């Protein structure tokens, strides 16, 4: 087994590294650990916009990254330790989550913390979740990865993942907002995420005496960064990959009441309908047609709105007011 402690706190880099390792080590078992700066990690089959508070995420410069596996959206920061096991697909039952969560439970139990696996893929203490896990199969290997909440900023977690469910109608996988907790209140005073990582690595070495700690080479880092640029930091992967959805929002501004309905396919607007009690000198149908083919992305919508005379459609309005409709 190879044990790798990522040198980066960049979520794009660390999520990309999981895919890169599947290619570089097609047969070897791997245990990867990483910590991310504030970021939201979206499940592969989720509608990104329906999982995040976009205004809050943008205002706080929180990265949004889609991972390879299914499951729900999670918040990462430096109070959260992330782990990723890679093994040959045929060696274990795909639905067995206990094998790779047991080392975490063992470390915590040694610290007299009553952690245990409950349900299919969650680790709990006193009935509250501190770790969620997801799986994927790719290139003949199985990856199980998960989070461990040590001392994460719970208020930011709540605010970043708070979204209006009435905006979206789709069939995407929705996150289950379980009751979660940090482990910091159960751990010895002065305990840190880094200290827990060290204990977990030591436990893995104890269970796997032949395990070897390795580091990303300069070539590895360059290859991972290339994958970041090609895929993991792109709008097409993180937002455009979302399943089809219907979006609706209404606002009340001095010019009147405006309601927007969008049908979105692969991140792009296929149909738009605008209602309201505003006064327009031009047909609102013209604006609806201009929206078709545009990405449901604020930068692209803003560019369109700035290039046209909005007052001819809505009366006395500005770009910022109309842009609110698309958030």
- At residue 172, the pLDDT reads 64
Q: How far apart are CA 127 and CA 39, in angstroms?
A: 26
The helix (run of H) or strand (run of E) holding residue 54 is helix 54-59
Helices (H), 122-163: 154-160
* Phi, psi dihedral angles at 226 (to 5 degrees): -65, -40
Let me know: does 109 contact 161? Beta carbons within 8 Å.
no
Report CA 30 to chain centroid distance, whole Å.
Answer: 22
Strands (E), 29-111: 30-34, 39-42, 63-66, 74-76, 80-88
Between the alpha carbon of residue 31 and those of residues 14, 26, 78, 111, 200, the distances in Å are: 13, 14, 19, 22, 10
**Burial class, 313, CB count within 10 angstroms (exposed 0-12 / middle 13-18 / buried 19+):** buried
- At residue 174, the pLDDT reads 62
What digits encode the pLDDT tens for the residues 289-308? 999 999 999 999 999 999 99
Q: Which residues, including other chains, have CB under 8 Å from residue 126's CB and lie 6 or more apart? A: 114, 181
Q: Which residues, including other chains, have CB under 8 Å from residue 195's CB and lie 6 or more apart? A: none
Q: Give the relative orientation of helices 218-227 and 11-24 as an angle to the nearest 10 degrees.
A: 110
Between the alpha carbon of residue 306 and those of residues 253, 300, 313, the distances in Å are: 18, 10, 13
Q: How many helices (H) and strands (E) does the chain have?
A: 11, 15
The helix (run of H) or strand (run of E) holding residue 117 is strand 116-118
- At residue 92, the pLDDT reads 61
Question: What residues in the chain have per-residue pLDDT under 50?
Answer: none
- At residue 91, the pLDDT reads 59
Let me know: does 72 contact 43? Beta carbons within 8 Å.
yes
What digits encode the pLDDT tens for the residues 176-196? 555 889 999 999 888 999 999
């Amino acid at each position: 087994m190879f044990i790798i402690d990522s040198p980066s706190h960049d979520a794009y880099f660390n999520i990309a590294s999981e895919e890169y390792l599947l290619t570089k080590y097609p047969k070897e078992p791997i245990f990867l650990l990483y910590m991310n700066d504030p970021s939201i990690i979206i499940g592969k089959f989720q509608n990104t916009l329906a999982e995040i508070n976009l205004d809050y995420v943008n205002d706080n410069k929180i990265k949004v990254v889609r991972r390879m596996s299914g499951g729900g959206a999670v918040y990462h920061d430096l109070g959260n330790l992330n782990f990723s096991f890679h093994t040959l697909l045929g060696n274990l039952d795909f639905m067995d989550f206990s094998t790779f969560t047991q080392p975490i439970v063992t470390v915590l139990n040694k610290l007299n913390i009553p952690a245990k696996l409950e349900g299919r893929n969650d680790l709990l203490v006193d009935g509250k979740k501190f770790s969620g896990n997801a799986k994927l199969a790719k290139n003949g290997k199985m990856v199980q990865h998960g989070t461990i909440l040590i001392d994460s900023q719970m208020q930011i977690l709540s605010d970043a993942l708070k979204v209006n469910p009435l905006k979206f109608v789709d069939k995407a996988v929705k996150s289950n907002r379980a009751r979660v907790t940090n482990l910091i209140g159960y751990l010895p005073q002065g305990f840190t995420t880094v200290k827990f990582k060290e204990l977990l690595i030591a436990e893995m070495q104890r269970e796997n005496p032949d395990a070897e700690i390795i580091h990303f080479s300069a070539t590895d880092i360059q290859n991972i960064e290339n994958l970041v640029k090609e895929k993991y930091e792109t709008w097409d992967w993180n937002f455009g990959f979302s399943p089809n959805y219907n979006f609706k929002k209404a606002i009340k501004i001095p010019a009147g009441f405006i309601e927007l309905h969008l049908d979105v396919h692969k991140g792009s607007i296929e149909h738009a309908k605008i209602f309201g009690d505003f006064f327009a000198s031009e047909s609102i149908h013209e604006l609806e047609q201009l929206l078709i083919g545009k990405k449901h992305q604020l930068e692209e919508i803003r560019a369109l709105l700035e290039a046209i005379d909005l007052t001819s459609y809505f009366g006395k309005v500005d770009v910022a007011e109309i842009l609110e409709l698309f958030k």
